[in-house]
């Protein structure tokens, strides 16, 4: 059996100290349940007594049966001058009713003498007394040696004395913390090796990413003898973040042969990453290793040609191991291999030697030279392929539109759009107001089309992005508009480019609706009063 490494997740505590990271008590509970299903061993829920949100979480958690993980309450050693039995912080840890607690104490004389303003001997008493009290109350104690690496480099003898104080008091695990995140990897490895030979308690590692080394330092510590690793999902945390468990776990399990979770649980890593970012209302990092959308994305034609023959040529692991998937991008760097691979994904059966494939490559390069980008607009790419292969759907034709934007002397603005479309042989003229000109155009188009395709009312615009392509041209610059549309959890992207932002938006808007109708296999209904849908009720971002 490979050696097992204890995974300690602190997303719900240390992770929430990151900028823009916030979870409600219900969010934290849902994440904890998901972490438990994933197979982590410890879930640090927060600091009981510090705020109502954490207290609400611990109240929920103690009534739930977790199958794999132990819920951990976090706090500090007792305050100087307080007996452990009367210290409010330690009392709150006990009252949280978690099976395990995590307490931090000082390892660096700088903090002992200047932050706490106590003697080195008193600090050792605080560490041992706090842990003994928690052990007497039946708690599994994980001791976080705060600023350990800085303290060790400053005064190794005293830093080790703090560990002995924790060990002799009964700490179950002693975690060495690179709290400021500035220790280099070779230093971590050397120090952990020495500590592991000197201290008999199990050793853990808690790294921060201020020097972009949190994952590397965590791996180095484990190779040097640590058996417990702390981190957060997606590397969330204060300043530059904590060690990213989404990288640590697959590196340990796939690359180094340690056991962290089961293989089936590891295959849920990518969805876990997205789940946490969704609940935190945070944009996923596409470039994140292992779990990011771009982690197994291939763009260069030479690369794509090679992975078609053997995925190992440009992939360090199989993406399925971590629940991710391979993506082939189409762009001006694309060759026929990209187009052939992507087209087969979309159900088109022609190879890279076909005339159609060459036409698609040529058109792609022409459009991207004009400013189009299909990497984030796969729906537009699919429609392009269908146009070239004469399989493009014909749901409606634009006869014309007009957009008016007014602003009065007191700063009030109003946008209105009028649009005329043809569906089969019928002309529909519709108008709508909106929060902005693009919103008004979207509402008018939907109102016109819902006469014939009432299902349009179920799709939504969920994101709208504008990028100026040639800034030196000032207000006459060309812009690229990317629109994400969605229905029932599935989403698709479309793109439009023009010197006119409304025209670019029209291209992306209309293709988003065409793509939706195509996948719904929609057929136009005869115009009646009964199938009229109110497009103004459909939500879309103002623009």
Own/partner long-range contacts of 218-221 (Cβ < 8 Å, ≥24 apart): 218/243, 218/248, 219/248, 219/251, 219/252, 219/256, 220/185, 220/186, 220/188, 220/189, 220/192, 221/176, 221/188, 221/189, 221/192
Nearest to 540 by CA among 466, 448, 463: 463
Indicate if the pLDDT at residue 205 is higher than 70: yes
User: Percentage of the chain surpassing pLDDT 70?
Assistant: 90
User: Percentage of the chain surpassing pLDDT 90?
Assistant: 63
Mean pLDDT in residue range 229-251: 98
Q: How many CB atoms lie within 10 A of CB 190?
A: 14
Q: Compare 90 and 346 and report the one with higher pLDDT.
A: 90
Q: How many CB atoms lie within 10 A of CB 351?
A: 12
Mean pLDDT estimate for the chain: 88
Nearest to 201 by CA among 150, 160, 157, 260: 160
Are 478 and 498 in contact by the 8 Å Cβ rule? The answer is yes
d(CA 296, CA 494) in angstroms, rounded, equals 22
Phi, psi of 74 (to 5 degrees): -110, 145
d(CA 291, CA 269) in angstroms, rounded, equals 7
Nearest to 391 by CA among 361, 424, 419, 350: 350
Chain segment 364-404, per-residue pLDDT in tens: 778 877 888 776 678 888 888 888 888 878 899 999 999 99
Q: Compare 53 and 531 and report the one with higher pLDDT.
A: 53
Instruction: Please report, for residues 18, 104, 231, 272, 457, the alpha-carbon distance to residue 174 in angstroms, rounded to integers and kept in the order given.
Output: 24, 10, 15, 28, 57
Q: How many residues does the chain have?
A: 543
Tokens for 5, please give them.
């490494």
pLDDT at position 342 is: 57
- String of b and e for 456-483 (b: at least 16 CB within 10 Å)? bbebebeebeeeeeeeeeeeeebbbbbb
Indicate if the pLDDT at residue 349 is higher than 60: no
* CA-based max dimension of the chain: 91
Nearest to 336 by CA among 314, 366, 359: 359
Tokens for 391, please give them.
């399989």
Catalogue all structural domains in the chain, each as residue range(s) with its CATH number: 6-261 (3.20.20.70), 297-387 (no CATH), 397-537 (3.30.160.270)
Mean pLDDT in residue range 36-60: 92
Chain segment 300-325, per-residue pLDDT in tens: 667 767 776 777 888 899 999 999 98
Tokens for 502, please give them.
């409304």
pLDDT at position 472 is: 66
Chain segment 500-510, per-residue pLDDT in tens: 999 999 999 99
pLDDT at position 346 is: 52
DSSP class per residue in 452-509: T-GGGGG-EEEEEEEEES-GGGGGG--EEEEEEEEETTEEEEEEEEESSHHHHHHHHH
């Amino acid at each position: 059996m490979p050696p097992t490494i204890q995974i300690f997740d602190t997303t719900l505590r240390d992770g929430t100290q990151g900028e823009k990271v916030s979870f409600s008590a219900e969010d934290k509970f849902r994440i904890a349940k998901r972490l438990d299903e994933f197979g982590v061993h410890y879930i640090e829920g927060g600091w009981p007594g510090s705020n109502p949100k954490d207290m609400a979480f611990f109240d929920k958690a103690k009534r739930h049966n977790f199958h794999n993980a132990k819920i951990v309450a976090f706090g500090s050693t007792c305050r100087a001058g307080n007996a452990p039995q009367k210290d409010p912080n330690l009392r709150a840890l006990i009252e949280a009713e978690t099976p395990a607690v995590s307490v931090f104490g000082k390892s660096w004389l700088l903090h002992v003498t200047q932050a706490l303003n106590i003697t080195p001997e008193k600090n050792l008493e605080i560490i041992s007394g706090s842990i003994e009290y928690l052990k007497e109350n039946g708690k599994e104690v994980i001791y976080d040696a705060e600023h350990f690496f800085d303290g060790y480099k400053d005064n190794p003898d005293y830093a080790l004395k703090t560990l002995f104080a924790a060990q002799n008091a009964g700490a179950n695990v002693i975690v060495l913390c690179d709290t400021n995140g500035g220790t280099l990897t070779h230093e971590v490895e050397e120090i952990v090796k020495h500590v592991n030979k000197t201290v008999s308690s199990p050793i853990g590692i808690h790294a921060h990413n201020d020097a972009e080394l949190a994952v590397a330092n965590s791996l180095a510590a484990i190779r040097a003898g640590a058996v417990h690793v702390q981190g957060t999902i997606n590397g969330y945390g204060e300043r530059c973040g904590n060690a990213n468990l989404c990288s640590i776990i697959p590196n340990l399990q796939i690359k180094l042969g340690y056991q962290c979770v089961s293989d089936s649980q590891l295959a849920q890593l990518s969805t876990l990453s997205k789940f946490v970012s969704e609940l935190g209302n945070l944009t996923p990092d596409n470039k994140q290793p292992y779990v990011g959308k771009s982690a197994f994305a291939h763009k260069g034609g030479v690369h794509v040609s090679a992975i078609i023959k053997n995925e190992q040529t440009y992939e360090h692991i199989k993406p399925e191991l971590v629940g991710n998937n391979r993506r082939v991008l189409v762009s001006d760097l694309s060759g026929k291999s990209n187009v052939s691979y992507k087209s087969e994904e979309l159900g088109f059966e022609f190879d890279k030697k076909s005339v159609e494939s060459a036409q698609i490559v040529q058109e792609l390069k022409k459009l991207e030279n004009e400013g189009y980008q299909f990497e984030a607009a796969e729906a537009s790419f699919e429609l392009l392929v269908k146009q070239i292969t004469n399989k493009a759907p014909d749901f409606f034709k634009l006869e014309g539109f007009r957009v008016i934007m007014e602003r009065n002397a007191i700063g009030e603005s109003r946008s209105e759009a009028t649009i005329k479309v043809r569906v089969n042989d019928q002309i529909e003229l519709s108008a709508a107001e909106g929060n902005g000109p693009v919103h008004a155009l979207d509402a008018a188009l939907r109102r016109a089309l819902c006469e014939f395709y009432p299902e349009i009312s179920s799709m939504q615009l969920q994101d709208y992005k504008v990028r100026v392509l040639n800034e030196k041209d000032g207000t006459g610059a060309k812009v690229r508009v990317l629109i994400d549309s969605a229905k029932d959890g599935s989403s698709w992207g479309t793109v439009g480019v023009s010197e006119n932002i409304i025209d670019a938006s029209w291209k992306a808007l209309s293709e988003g609706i065409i793509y939706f109708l195509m996948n719904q296999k929609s057929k136009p209904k005869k115009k009646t009063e009964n199938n009229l849908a109110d497009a103004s009720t459909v939500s879309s971002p103002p623009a």
